[in-house]
């Protein structure tokens, strides 16, 4: 029995026999919450049930959060002992909700598959339940029409605003998680940036922690080969290994996931999938016939060692890829730490991938920001001329608030002149240029700001904004 | 060949043979009575057939034949060796065996189809979900629970008929129509329909619910072995 009903029995609100009767009646109308049946049958009052949901014995962590309390007010948000709070996503196969587990006092993610896809999702849950790895989202519970999983408060890799170093670390962690799945004879089958979530965690290596999600089309080797032989395979073409796309190709093994991880890293570094994300047939044709474009040509800031490992994992011949995901992860680790050339360079860099993306867009527009690839200046230099810079900045902000943008711009420029290594001043002027629609200037200032203050989390959103606006407008400096 | 030629379905009823009996047969080392085992398997026939029908063939006769083949495959090997209380419940054993059976069938079919071109589909393609849904033995536990309920309702009906409580059973059916909760009649309408005093409706339903629970637990105990194990299985089947 669940904790809630154990407490209900212990407090004498309801008997175990009544709960069993309610369970059987639920068999006649699947999907109805057990608590609702108990109330309808007169086994327990609605007030007592509500009390139970807030009972300290039921909720070891104490009182429930306010947002949960608000959501709880609407009975439509209840699914068994979970309160649905907000929808995290919706697709053709079903919905995912952020919910709160009233029994264990924790946030969870609940998948509600459409009826016709329920079996597929239950398969996913059974696969996930086999794993025990910090990089793979754990399954907490399987209900009659839903699957409860840990809520990963992260963002997909492509939205994470990663530095080069972080991108390598993220894919390295993901590769180790996938290796764990392979050790259980399960392929992921749909690895891509969107299926790897990232959380910032100061205690984690390089400050990030990744979780591989969506094992929805995972399968064992036997099943996968059988399905291919039956004439169908599943995945996202931009990240699928060529052998999955080739009729009459060799038998499939775990190395198709290696290809997807290589393509994922490629996308993170280049800002777009290797063979584009357009028409499926075009992507498939290119993946089957071409090597990916060299990363070094797209962005000179990407070290040759990284380019080489990406190209290796994206080999059309699986035999030329790493032996397994662990070997791939080790290779990335070596680049990050041990390689005397590439390793040191990367370890010292804080090159945001937003810059790599900007560089690509700039390249397409015939423009490459000069700031890309430079090193962070000595922090000591920043302190010397801080005082006048602060004054100019403060005055500039006041002008900006009052709508005097021209004077604000002048003040920010003076702040930069007073202290050319001030990330704050560059940032403020960059934002102001966004406001005035001068996106090229904004891009230049924001890139410089990021180089000067790589840990300033406010910069990246504006940088993305400026880049997207430039791309949208097709501007050429 | 129809299923009746080998397995009798005991008139739609559920377990009359205890699961523990099979274990006793195994432990005693005596030759299994084919008849006893057939009766045991016949109980689970609809569940297995349901999975095969939905996920393998829509041809009723082929589904019957394959279901029979499945049970025969269990009989042909010394399946009881795979059974032990610590290896999981009987329901799980049958489920795993069915999964393997279907996997082997799929492998055989694949050999026939080998050499065909691969069709690539995007994961957003609705057809993909259909492909994915064909895997495994989906719906097995749900069907098991439904079979159990059906058998329990049948037994409740028989019990009510034998003990002059037909109206108790009718009230139960009217208030808890299987799979059609929207058609459930409220107390006043049941009283009117059955021509019984309003205050009796609650009493009839109370009795029928309790009897239903008793019967369900009896049925589960046929294979779960022990009262407490049966209560745990009930929680598992009807979460």
Question: Mean pLDDT across chain B, nearest whole number?
Answer: 70
Q: What is the mean pLDDT of residues B174-193?
A: 87
pTM, two decimals, is 0.45
Contacts of A231 in chain B (CB under 8 A): 113, 116-119
| Residue contact A23–B136, C-beta within 8 A | no
By three-state DSSP, how is residue A99 classified?
strand
Residues contacting residue A52 through CB under 8 Å, at least 6 positions apart = A4, A7, A8, A11, A13, A58
| Residue contact A117–B133, C-beta within 8 A | yes
**Of A20, A226, A240, Cβ closest to residue B110:** A226
> Chain B 183-222, CB below 8 Å of chain A: which residues?
209-210, 212-213, 216-217
**Of A406, A326, A420, A314, which Cα lies nearest the Cα of A371?**
A420
Q: Are A227 and A251 in contact (CB under 8 A)?
A: no
pLDDT 10s digits, A12-32: 888 999 999 999 998 888 777
* Strand A106-113 versus strand A94-101 pairing type: antiparallel
CATH superfamily to which A59-151 belongs: Phosphorylase Kinase; domain 1 (3.30.200.20)
pLDDT 10s digits, A57-87: 665 555 677 788 888 888 888 888 899 999 8
pLDDT surpassing 60 at residue A384: no
Q: What is the mean pLDDT of residues A201-218?
A: 78
Pick the range with the lowest mean pLDDT from A167-181, A233-247, A460-474, B41-55.
A460-474
Distance CA A319, CA A322 (A): 8
Phi and psi torsions of A234, nearest 5°: -125, 145
Contacts of B152 in chain A (CB under 8 A): 24
Higher pLDDT, B80 or A440: A440
**Of A206, A196, A144, A149, which Cα lies nearest the Cα of A175?**
A196
Q: What is the mean pLDDT of residues B218-224?
A: 78
ipTM: 0.74
Share of chain A above pLDDT 90, in %: 17
Contacts of A21 in chain B (CB under 8 A): 209-210, 212-213
Higher pLDDT, A173 or B44: A173
- Measured between CA atoms, the residue of chain A closest to residue B183 is A29
The architecture that CATH gives domain A155-349 is Orthogonal Bundle (1.10)
Pick the range with the lowest mean pLDDT from A361-365, A424-428, B125-129.
A361-365
Distance from chain centroid for Cα B39:
14
Q: Are A262 and A299 in contact (CB under 8 A)?
A: no
Contacts of A24 in chain B (CB under 8 A): 149, 152, 209, 212-213, 216, 234, 238
DSSP one-letter code for A137: P
Q: Are B45 and B67 in contact (CB under 8 A)?
A: yes
Burial state string for B195-225 with b = 16 or more CB within 10 A and e = fewer than 16: ebeeebbeebbeebbebbbbbbbebbbbbbb
A159-163, A359-363, A373-377, B179-183: which is most confident: A159-163
**Of A26, A216, A244, Cβ closest to residue B238:** A26
* Strand A139-142 versus strand A147-150 pairing type: antiparallel
Distance CA A102, CA A271 (A): 41
Mind giving me the DSSP string for B215-238? HHHHHHHHHH-SHHHHHHHHHHH-
| Residue contact A28–B181, C-beta within 8 A | yes
Q: What is the mean pLDDT of residues A401-411?
A: 81
Cα dist from A125 to A139, A472, B165, whole Å: 6, 41, 45
| Residue contact A120–B146, C-beta within 8 A | no
Q: What is the mean pLDDT of residues A160-175?
A: 89
Contacts of B103 in chain A (CB under 8 A): 222-223
pLDDT surpassing 50 at residue B119: no
Question: Mean pLDDT across chain A, nearest whole number?
Answer: 75
DSSP one-letter code for A338: I
| Residue contact B213–A20, C-beta within 8 A | yes
pLDDT 10s digits, B124-172: 433 333 333 334 566 788 888 888 888 899 999 999 999 999 999 999 9
* pLDDT given for residue A188 in this prediction: 84
What sign has the CA pseudo-torsion A334, A336, A338, A342?
Answer: positive
Residue B27 in contact with partner chain A when CB distance is under 8 A = no
Q: Are A208 and A200 in contact (CB under 8 A)?
A: yes
Residues contacting residue B202 through CB under 8 Å, at least 6 positions apart = B187
| Residue contact B132–A25, C-beta within 8 A | no
pLDDT surpassing 50 at residue B122: no
How close A335 comes to chain B (CA, Å)? 34
* pLDDT given for residue B162 in this prediction: 93
Pick the range with the lowest mean pLDDT from B112-126, B181-195, B211-225.
B112-126
Contacts of B121 in chain A (CB under 8 A): 232-234
| Residue contact A26–B212, C-beta within 8 A | no
Distance CA A440, CA A448 (A): 12
| Residue contact A25–B235, C-beta within 8 A | no
Domain boundaries, chain A: 1-54, 59-151, 155-349, 355-473
Task: Please report how the helices B140-162 and B90-113 are oriented relative to each other, as an axis angle in degrees rounded to 10.
Answer: 130
> Chain B 89-118, CB below 8 Å of chain A: which residues?
103, 106-107, 109-110, 113-118
* pLDDT given for residue A196 in this prediction: 93
CATH superfamily to which A355-473 belongs: Tetratricopeptide repeat domain (1.25.40.10)
Domains A59-151 and A155-349 share a fold: no
Higher pLDDT, A184 or B145: B145
Domain boundaries, chain B: 3-133, 140-237
Q: What is the mean pLDDT of residues A139-152?
A: 83
pLDDT surpassing 80 at residue A370: no
Give the residue numbers of A marked as catalytic: 190
- Measured between CA atoms, the residue of chain B closest to residue A18 is B210
Q: What is the mean pLDDT of residues A354-363?
A: 34
pLDDT surpassing 70 at residue B25: no
Q: How confident is the model at residue A1 (pLDDT cuts 50, 70, 90)?
A: low
Cα-Cα end-to-end distance for chain B = 38
């Amino acid at each position: 029995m669940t904790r809630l009903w154990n407490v209900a029995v212990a407090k004498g609100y309801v008997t175990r026999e009544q709960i069993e009767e309610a369970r059987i009646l639920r068999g006649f109308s699947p999907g109805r919450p057990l608590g609702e049946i108990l109330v309808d049958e007169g086994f327990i009052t609605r007030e007592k049930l509500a009390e139970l949901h807030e009972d300290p014995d039921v909720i070891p962590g104490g009182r429930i959060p306010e947002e949960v309390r608000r959501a709880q007010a609407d009975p439509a948000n209840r699914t068994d002992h979970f309160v649905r709070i907000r929808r995290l996503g919706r697709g053709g196969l079903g919905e995912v909700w952020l919910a709160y587990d009233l029994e264990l006092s924790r946030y969870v993610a609940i998948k509600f598959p459409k009826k016709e896809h329920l079996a597929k999702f239950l398969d996913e849950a059974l696969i996930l339940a086999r794993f025990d790895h910090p990089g793979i989202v754990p399954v907490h519970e399987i209900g009659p029409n839903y699957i409860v999983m840990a809520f990963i408060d992260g963002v997909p890799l492509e939205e994470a605003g990663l530095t080069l170093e972080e991108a390598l670390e993220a894919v390295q962690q993901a590769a180790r998680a996938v290796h764990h799945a392979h050790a259980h004879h399960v392929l992921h089958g749909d690895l891509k940036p969107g299926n790897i979530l990232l959380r910032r965690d100061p205690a984690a290596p390089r400050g990030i922690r990744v979780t591989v999600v969506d094992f929805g089309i995972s399968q064992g080797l036997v099943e996968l080969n059988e399905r291919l032989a039956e004439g169908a395979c599943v995945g996202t073409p931009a990240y699928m290994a060529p052998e999955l796309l080739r009729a009459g190709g060799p038998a499939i093994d775990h190395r198709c996931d290696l290809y997807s991880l290589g393509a994922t890293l490629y996308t993170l570094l280049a800002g777009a999938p290797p063979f584009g994300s357009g028409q499926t047939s075009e992507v498939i044709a290119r993946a089957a016939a071409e090597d990916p474009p060299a990363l070094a040509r797209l962005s000179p800031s990407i070290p040759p060692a990284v380019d080489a490992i990406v190209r290796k994992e994206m080999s059309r011949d699986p035999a030329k890829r790493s032996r397994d995901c662990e070997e791939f992860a080790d290779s990335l680790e070596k680049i990050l730490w041990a390689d005397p050339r590439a390793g040191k360079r990367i370890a010292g860099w804080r090159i945001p991938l937003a810059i790599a993306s900007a560089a690509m867009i700039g390249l397409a527009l015939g423009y490459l920001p000069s700031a890309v690839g430079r090193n962070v200046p000595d922090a000591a230099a920043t302190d010397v001329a801080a005082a006048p810079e602060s004054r100019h900045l403060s005055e500039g902000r006041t002008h900006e608030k009052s709508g005097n943008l021209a004077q604000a711009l002048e003040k920010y420029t003076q702040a930069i002149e007073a202290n050319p290594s001030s990330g704050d001043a560059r940032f403020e002027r960059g934002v102001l240029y966004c406001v005035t629609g001068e996106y090229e200037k904004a891009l230049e200032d924001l890139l410089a700001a990021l180089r000067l203050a790589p840990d300033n989390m406010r910069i990246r959103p504006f940088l993305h904004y400026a880049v997207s606006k430039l791309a949208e407008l097709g501007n050429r400096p | 060949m129809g299923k009746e030629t080998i397995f009798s379905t005991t008139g739609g009823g559920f377990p009359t043979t205890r699961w523990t009996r099979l274990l006793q047969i195994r432990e005693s080392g005596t030759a299994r009575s084919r008849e006893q085992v057939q009766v045991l398997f016949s109980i689970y026939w609809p569940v297995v057939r349901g999975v095969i029908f939905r996920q393998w063939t829509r041809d009723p006769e082929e589904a019957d034949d394959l279901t029979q083949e499945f049970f025969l495959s269990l009989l042909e090997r010394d399946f009881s060796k795979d059974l032990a209380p610590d290896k999981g419940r009987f329901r799980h054993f049958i489920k795993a065996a069915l999964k393997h059976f279907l996997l082997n069938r799929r492998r055989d079919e694949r050999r026939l189809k080998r050499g065909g071109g691969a069709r690539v589909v995007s994961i957003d393609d609705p057809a993909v979900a259909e492909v994915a849904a064909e895997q495994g033995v989906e719906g097995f536990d749900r069907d098991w629970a439904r079979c159990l309920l059906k058998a329990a309702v049948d037994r409740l009906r028989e019990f009510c008929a034998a003990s002059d409580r037909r109206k108790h059973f009718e009230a139960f059916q009217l208030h808890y129509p299987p799979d059609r909760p929207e058609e459930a009649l409220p107390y006043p309408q049941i009283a009117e329909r059955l021509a019984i005093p309003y205050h009796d409706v609650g009493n009839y339903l109370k009795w029928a619910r309790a009897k239903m629970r008793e019967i369900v637990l009896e049925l589960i105990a046929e294979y779960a072995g022990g009262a407490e194990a049966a209560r745990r299985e009930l929680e598992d089947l009807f979460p």
